[in-house]
Amino acid sequence: MSNRRRPSAVPLYHAMYLHSRAWYARRARWFDHATTLGPLTCAGCGRTASRTELELHHLDYRGMSSTGGIMRAFERDEDLLPLHPYCHDLLHRLIDRDQLLSRNRTRRDATHIALSRLRPKLQESA
């Protein structure tokens, strides 16, 4: 996780979850699986990257759960998207701050719209 993420943009529960052991384990399993499929690429700029260079963005938070204070991670593989911290940060600036973009949309749809706006900018600087 990047420390540059503004805490105000992330609900406390999500922030706690993203530091939980369950999430670290889920993230490791995601990368273990993804690296068997081919080279990892950033969903923003499209460049190939190693797992240590990438963060995972949630397209859907439904896999996140907490029972009796114990966090559990049940995200499906397709609910997570690899991004450089920089590209991830830009994505969050768009979907967390652009009310029009996020209103009445699922996080998945808002993410795809935001990425379609970001990709041309990120890829031309690549």
In the complex, least distance from residue 65 CB atom to Zn ion, rounded to whole angstroms = 18
Q: Helices marked H in the chain — which ranges?
A: 12-17, 21-37, 85-97, 99-102, 107-124
Beta carbon nearer to Zn ion, 26 or 57: 57
Do 75 and 26 touch, CB atoms closer than 8 A?
yes
In the complex, least distance from residue 58 CB atom to Zn ion, rounded to whole angstroms = 6
User: 44 by DSSP, 3-state: which?
Assistant: coil
Beta carbon nearer to Zn ion, 68 or 94: 94
In the complex, least distance from residue 50 CB atom to Zn ion, rounded to whole angstroms = 12
d(CA 82, CA 70): 25
Beta carbon nearer to Zn ion, 67 or 124: 124
In the complex, least distance from residue 46 CB atom to Zn ion, rounded to whole angstroms = 7
- Residue 45 burial class via C-beta count within 10 angstroms: exposed 0-12, middle 13-18, buried 19 and up: buried
Return residues touching Zn ion (CB under 5 A): 42, 44-45, 57, 84, 87
The residue nearest Zn ion at its CB is: 42
d(CA 105, CA 68): 30
Beta carbon nearer to Zn ion, 69 or 86: 86
